Amino acid sequence: MEKYYLAVDIGASSGRHILGTVKEGKLELQEIYRFENGMKQKDGQFCWDVESLFTEIKEGMKECRKLGKIPLSMGIDTWAVDFVLLDGENRMLGNAAGYRDDRTKGMDKKLYEVISLKDLYERTGIQKQIFNTIYQLMAVREETPEYLEKGETFLMIPDYFHYLLTGVKMQEYTNATTTQLVKAETGTWDYELMKKLGLPERLFGNLSMPGTTVGPLTGAVEQEVGFSCQVVLPATHDTGSAVMAVPLCPVEEESTEDILYISSGTWSLMGTELSKANCSAESMEANFTNEGGYDHRFRYLKNIMGLWMIQSVKKELEEKGEAYSFAELCRMASEEEIASIVDCNDSLFLAPVSMIRAVQDYCQSSGMAVPKTPGQLAAVIYNSLAACYGNTVKELEAITGRSYPAIHVVGGGSNAEYLNRLTADRTGRTVYAGPGEATAIGNLLAQMLAAGEFESLKQAREAVYRSFAVKEYKPDSPGLPFYPAKGKPVNKHEQMEEKI
């Protein structure tokens, strides 16, 4: 009898339910449900509609019953840094504010009155991003301190959904590290830091690792969805799950610290895996972060603005009546010769009123050619991303003292062929692109490892390699199909998928 596992993968713009099973050492996936997501304005804040999202989670679960494929376990992953506060009666205090809300403006200065950026990095190893949880909590402290007074529980967004499913409150490690409140050396909450910042220690309990069983569905949820199963923690930070699914390709790395990856989606997370966090001044100056990973690994990476920029441009063009697919934008970009490059990590591009205007203004103020057509705008963004990847490779090799001959691009952005070619050319490295559903696959792997389907993460990654077609891009050469060593070569990514 086949064993099924359910990954609920929720991103900033959409969510999906994917069933996974293992057959003859290979992973098989089936997407059974998809729904939209996005921040909404509420009470003057950009917020997540967590009530609606939980309804969608349950609706997707009902599809399992309809298909007759009841999962042995399920787990939810989402984006990082955002959270909810619950009072003593488990009611939400305030809104589930989103990371693009401007409430954190100026909170870094408030924080540095208590602890310097240097000391904070030495303790946590987490790069400064003004939307990090620590700055959000400073905003709560300054604007609505009563929430901290009444609060009894702090839960990251996926932790909250797991609680709604099971009635059990668990705080998962990989996502918790993005709060900038976890000690890199011990992997536990930094209660001394919390005390300095005036954050109640009672909000933060023991941290649990991916693979931990949360518990069965509550009776109410079981009755509603039509079945019961165990909820098992994946790496609830979507990048943590995506990195778990980096396949072991023919150029086998000697260790996880030889892997260079880009988890490409709304954000581009580029880095490697380390067994010990690098909290050096050099690392801080380069703005690298040490996020928690599976089995106490560290995802040593840099946050790059990513495909958020092209997603925003695409949306603006649609609002003007110019509808283009991502594939069309890539094709048009490849036909342009505009040489302008913007700094993708500039805060101007975090949440502009108009991404098109932000890119144009940056180019104009820098004395570069101003992109005017959709193709030129796309070319500037894609070339800028590739240039940023090239700079990041140089920084990473200088800091770690290692050499990375290849880059593994996973996630929805792995389907952007033009960007993959540019990345190979800009970095001078071979790019292995795929799988596109890396986050959901990593979510499933954590559950499968807990169930004994695989003996180790290495074995699981080898199964990813056998299961999904990966495409190879050499510097200064067109992308050529690259397939697993065994099995019929069928190019699953010949056509770019619309999901970026």
pLDDT tens for 402-436 read 999 999 999 989 999 999 999 999 999 999 999 99
Q: What is the CATH number of domain 4-232?
A: 3.30.420.40
User: H/E element holding 9?
Assistant: strand 4-10
Strand pairing partners for 292?
Answer: 298
Residue extent(s) of CATH 3.30.420.40 domains in the chain: 4-232, 248-434+469-500
- List the catalytic residue out of 77, 101, 190, 238: 238
**Cα separation of 340 and 365, whole Å?**
12
Across the strands, what pairs with 45?
Answer: 42
Q: Could you tell me the two tokens for 143?
A: 């604007």
Nearest to 482 by CA among 497, 494, 496, 499: 494
Q: What is the pLDDT of residues 474-488, one digit of tens each?
A: 998 444 333 333 233
Cα dihedral 23/27/30/35 (nearest 10): 150
Please give the pLDDT value at position 255. 57
Per-residue pLDDT of the chain (500 residues; tens, 9 = 90+): 799 999 999 998 899 999 999 999 999 999 999 999 999 999 989 999 999 999 999 999 999 999 999 999 999 999 999 999 999 999 999 999 999 899 999 999 999 999 999 999 999 999 998 999 999 999 999 999 999 999 999 999 999 999 999 999 999 999 999 999 999 999 999 999 999 999 999 999 999 999 999 999 999 999 999 999 999 999 999 999 999 999 986 445 445 668 899 999 888 999 999 999 999 999 999 999 999 999 999 999 998 989 999 999 999 999 999 999 999 999 999 999 999 999 998 989 988 999 999 999 999 999 999 999 999 999 999 999 999 999 999 999 999 999 999 999 999 899 999 999 999 999 999 999 999 999 999 999 999 999 999 999 999 999 999 999 899 999 984 443 333 332 333 332 222 223 33
Task: Give ∠ CA 241-184-276 in degrees, rounded to 5.
Answer: 75
Quote the CA–CA distance of 14 and 3 in Å, as a whole number: 26
With CA atoms as reference, report the closest residue to 246 among 263, 232, 268, 269.
263
How confident is the model over 368-381, as pLDDT tens digits? Answer: 999 999 999 999 99
User: Is 248-434+469-500 a domain of CATH 3.40.50.720?
Assistant: no
Cα gap 64→71, rounded to integer Å? 7
Q: How far apart are CA 48 and CA 277, in angstroms?
A: 32
Q: Is 238 a catalytic residue?
A: yes
Q: Is 372 left (phi over 0), alpha (psi -120 to 50) or beta?
A: alpha
DSSP state of 490: -
